[in-house]
Amino acid sequence: MAVSLFSFSTPNNSYVYDRGTNSLLSALTKDEFLACRRVETGEETEDDWKILNRLTEAGYLKESRLKTIRHSSTSYMRHQLESRIKQLTIQVTRDCNLRCSYCAYSGKYNNQRQHESITMPLELMLKCIDFAMARSHGLKEVIIAFYGGEPLLGINKIKSCVEHIKNKYRGRKVRYSMTTNGTIFDDDTITFLAENDFLINISFDGPRELHNLNRVFENGEGSYDIIMKNVKYIKEKYPDFYRKISFLTTIAPGVDLACVDHFYTAETVLAENYANVNTLTSFSSKEDIYYGDEFSITSNFQYMKVLLAEIGLYSNEKVSKLFKSRLGTLALLQRHLSKTMLTETAHPGGPCLPGIDRPFVDVYGNILPCERVSEDSNANRIGHIDTGFDLDKVESVLNVGKLTEEECLKCWNFINCGLCIAACDGEEELTRESRLRYCDGAKFDTYSNLRTICMLTENGYDFKTQTFKKVRTAPDNPHSSCNNATEADKRDLKQQLLTAINTIVPLTDYNKDDYIFSNAYPLSSTDMVYLIIQLSKDLAFTITDDFIDAMEMCTFCEFEALLAKYSK
- pLDDT above 60 (res 233): yes
- pLDDT above 80 (res 136): yes
CB atoms within 10 A of CB 420: 20
CA distances from 47 to 36, 58, 313 (A): 12, 18, 44
- Least confident stretch, 119-123, 197-201, 253-257, 359-363: 253-257
- Least confident stretch, 172-181, 408-417, 448-457, 513-522: 513-522
Topology at the third CATH level for domain 481-566: 1.10.1200
Give tens-digit pLDDT for 291-312.
888 888 899 999 999 999 999 9
**Residue range 316-323: mean pLDDT, rounded:** 92
Alpha-carbon torsion (143, 148, 152, 154), positive or negative: negative
CB atoms within 10 A of CB 219: 6
Beta partners for residue 515, in sequence order: 555
Please compute, for residue 505, the number of CA atoms within 13 A of its CA located in the half-sphere on the CB side: 16
Max mean pLDDT among 103-117, 204-218, 456-470 falls in 204-218
pLDDT at 296: 87
How far apart CA 424 and CA 138 sit, in angstroms, is 31
C-alpha triplet 516, 517, 523: angle, nearest 5° = 95
**Residue range 262-274: mean pLDDT, rounded:** 92
Mean pLDDT, the chain, rounded, equals: 91
- The answer, yes or no, to whether the previous bond of 149 is cis (omega within 30 of 0) is yes
Cβ atoms of 475 and 509 closer than 8 Å: no
pLDDT at 467: 86
How far apart CA 95 and CA 99 sit, in angstroms, is 10
- pLDDT above 60 (res 476): no
pLDDT at 110: 73
Sorting pLDDT into bands at 50, 70 and 90, what band is 289?
A: confident
**Residue range 207-229: mean pLDDT, rounded:** 97
Residues 6+ apart with CB under 8 A from 93: 118, 119, 120, 148, 149, 150, 151, 153, 154, 363
Smallest Cα–Cα separation from 210: which of 131, 295, 136?
Answer: 295
DSSP string, 297-318: HHHHHHHHHHHHHHTTSS-GGG
C-alpha triplet 525, 526, 531: angle, nearest 5° = 95
Beta strands per DSSP E along 181-317: 199-203, 246-251, 275-279
- Least confident stretch, 33-42, 348-357, 389-398, 470-479: 470-479
pLDDT at 442: 95
What is the share, in percent, of the chain residues with pLDDT greater than 90?
Answer: 74
pLDDT at 114: 82
How far apart CA 382 and CA 397 sit, in angstroms, is 8
Smallest Cα–Cα separation from 235: which of 209, 277, 267, 265?
Answer: 267
What's phi and psi for 178, nearest 5 deg? Answer: -160, 140
Give tens-digit pLDDT for 444-455.
999 999 999 999
> What is the distance, to the nearest Å, from the Cα of residue 526 to the centroid of all Cα atoms in its chain?
16
pLDDT at 277: 93
Surface-to-core class of residue 26, CB atoms within 10 Å of its CB (0-12 exposed, 13-18 middle, 19+ buried): middle
How far apart CA 234 and CA 183 sit, in angstroms, is 12
- pLDDT above 70 (res 121): yes
- Strands 388-389, 383-384: pairing is antiparallel
Give tens-digit pLDDT for 362-376.
999 999 999 988 888
- The amino acid at residue 222 is G
Greater model confidence, 297 or 123 = 123
CATH 1.10.1200.10 domain range(s) in the chain: 481-566
Give tens-digit pLDDT for 485-494.
444 444 577 8
- pLDDT above 70 (res 51): yes
**Residue range 534-541: mean pLDDT, rounded:** 90
Cα end-to-end span (Å), the chain: 56
**Residue range 512-541: mean pLDDT, rounded:** 89
How far apart CA 263 and CA 257 sit, in angstroms, is 10
How far apart CA 424 and CA 426 sit, in angstroms, is 6
- pLDDT above 70 (res 478): no
pLDDT at 112: 76
How far apart CA 35 and CA 511 sit, in angstroms, is 37
Residues 6+ apart with CB under 8 A from 132: 85, 88, 142, 144
- pLDDT above 90 (res 479): no
Smallest Cα–Cα separation from 120: which of 389, 362, 360?
Answer: 362
Cβ atoms of 423 and 434 closer than 8 Å: yes
Smallest Cα–Cα separation from 354: which of 78, 70, 27, 107?
Answer: 78
- pLDDT above 70 (res 480): no
